[in-house]
Amino acid sequence: MKFNKNLKYGASALALALVLSACSLLLSACSGENAKNAKEDAKDAVSNTKAAVSEEVNSVKDKAEDKKDEMTTGIEDKEFKISLDDAVKKFKEEFKAEEIEVSSLEFDEDNGKYAYDIKGFNGNDEYEAKVDAESGEILSKEQDSEDDSDNEKAIDFAKVKDAKEAIDKALENNKGFVKSYELDVNDEGKTVYEIDVVGGDDVELDAETLDIIQK
């Protein structure tokens, strides 16, 4: 009887040991599988991170190259959808006053966009607007009344040479590139182009003859 009891206890212990061993093996297998999965996940994460970093580096390089190009090329190498005459027309249409006279015009970059900054007058009223050189959109505008507007002098666009011709003339025997220009009437009553040459000599030209006034 005692022998049977001991045998029963021994069988129970053996069964428990087998169960515990099986659980241990199962846990080890699960742990090993989890470790394997974790390792694979880590490899994927590293791979994805490398790809993201590489993409970001390439993006930065591309932007740097674009910026370099912008810094070494000027408007003489660019084509714009809106011409000087188009911009003046849109300027007058915006204020609904064809009789407005234009006193000055500046072509320059404004917040990443090239635009015409045009000023004009009609009697005691003064006007100013910026016209996007690509879309023709009015970027900003202002209207005011001044007592000294009688001193303003109007630009006769029928006599003014094309801006591209003026830029090409300014770059003859000159280093650098053009980033902006102005068109206005000087104190002597002469309409002039003032060409801003980066890396070279700025040039002032007679807008009607393109003769160099100052360099």
pLDDT greater than 60 at residue 139: yes
Burial state string for 94-107 with b = 16 or more CB within 10 A and e = fewer than 16:
bbeeeebbbbbbbb
Residue 174 lies in a domain: yes
Total domains in the fold of the chain: 1
Rounded mean pLDDT, 181-194: 96
pLDDT in tens, 47-99: 676 676 567 655 555 554 444 444 568 999 999 999 999 999 999 999 987 68
Measured between alpha carbons, how far is 215 from 211 in angstroms, rounded to an integer?
A: 11
Confidence of residue 16 (pLDDT cuts 50, 70, 90): very low
- Residues 6 or more apart whose CB falls under 8 angstroms from that of 115 comprise 107, 108, 109, 130, 131, 132, 133, 139
Mean pLDDT of 139-164: 87
Average pLDDT, the chain: 79
Q: What is the pLDDT of residues 18-44, one digit of tens each?
A: 334 444 543 454 456 665 666 676 666
- DSSP H helices in 129-195: 163-170
Question: Would you say residue 7 has pLDDT above 90?
Answer: no
Residue 95 belongs to a domain: yes
Q: Are 179 and 195 in contact (CB under 8 A)?
A: no
Q: Which domain holds residue 120?
A: 76-214
In-domain check, residue 56? no
CATH number at 124 reads 3.10.450.40
The answer to whether position 187 is within a domain reads yes
